[in-house]
Amino acid sequence: MSRLVVVGSVNVDATSYVDAFPQPGETIHSHGYRVALGGKGANQAIAAHLCSADVEFVARLGDDAAAEVARAAFARFGLATDAVATVPGAPTGVAQITVAASGENTIVVTAGANAAVGTDAVAAERERIAAADLVLTQGELPVPAIEAVARACDGAGTRFVLNLAPPVDVAGAAVAIADPLVVNVHEARAVGVGADLPDDAPAAAWRDAAASVVGELARSIVVTLGARGAVAADADGSWIAAAPEVDAVDTTGAGDAATGALAAMLAEGRALPDAVRVAVAAGAIAVRSRGTVDSYAGRADILALAERTETR
């Protein structure tokens, strides 16, 4: 079993389901509401765990009722929480989400206890990082912590995967260590990948844009394209992984499902194109039902769908 460390955020998602997003100044009624575990770190840790990686999750919770929602979810999935600590007097992170009938979403995140994941917290986990096959982190943590994780991985020779979502101002030296850097099209443009490409540019154009900055921006790059799949590039080549056709109900957390699966596959030694193919399948399954982690599939179902996913 591969050993994967996720240093990341935990949020409790408060989600409202609506027919269409409100206009500025408009008040509308939702037709559904749910409270559930979220946060990119937690989502990706559970996605990787469901893919059979041995996941160690480094995170911070507040000392409020929302923390109990998160801990109950960790227990339900069987995710190890030895490195999940409580920050006295702080609220647990929260995400306010609106999901439209189209399946698209808007998200407002309040960091809460996630802001307490600093350089000291990373330094305390150096042995855990050094012992891992791969370490994954995201843009929802403070920038100094992200950069500290990158340095710790570089020093230990541990593979570092950075999901730069949201695209915060991480030092170029830290991004350069990422193998891969994982971004969607909006995040890609923010870091200089495909700056002139529209969202709906052909997948081949996004593949070539990623390939053009390999070794300069990051060691390898994955750009997710939503319903069209993803592209990837490293020093050995570049690829397109087409997504299977599914009926999208809720896209919330689908990117995290894909990133967690990607990290799990890379940690067990799969090549980048194969790992991306599996990641695309994980994301496709996740959009078929509501919620984040409750929409994620297990390893067997993901691999079965991945067998029908084309990579070229």
Q: Are residues 261 and 45 in contact, defined by beta-carbon separation less than 8 angstroms? A: no
Is residue 179 annotated as a catalytic residue, yes or no?
no
Pair 164, 255: CB distance under 8 Å: no
User: Who contacts 63 (Cβ-Cβ below 8 Å, separation ≥6)?
Assistant: 86, 87, 88, 89, 90
- Rounded to an integer, what distance in angstroms lies between the CA atom of residue 122 and that of residue 146? 9
Amino acid at 127: E
Strand partners, 38: 11
Give the active site residue among 179, 234, 250, 256.
256
Beta strand 237-241 with 230-234 is antiparallel
* Integer Cα distance of 75 and 19 in angstroms: 33
Active site residues: 256
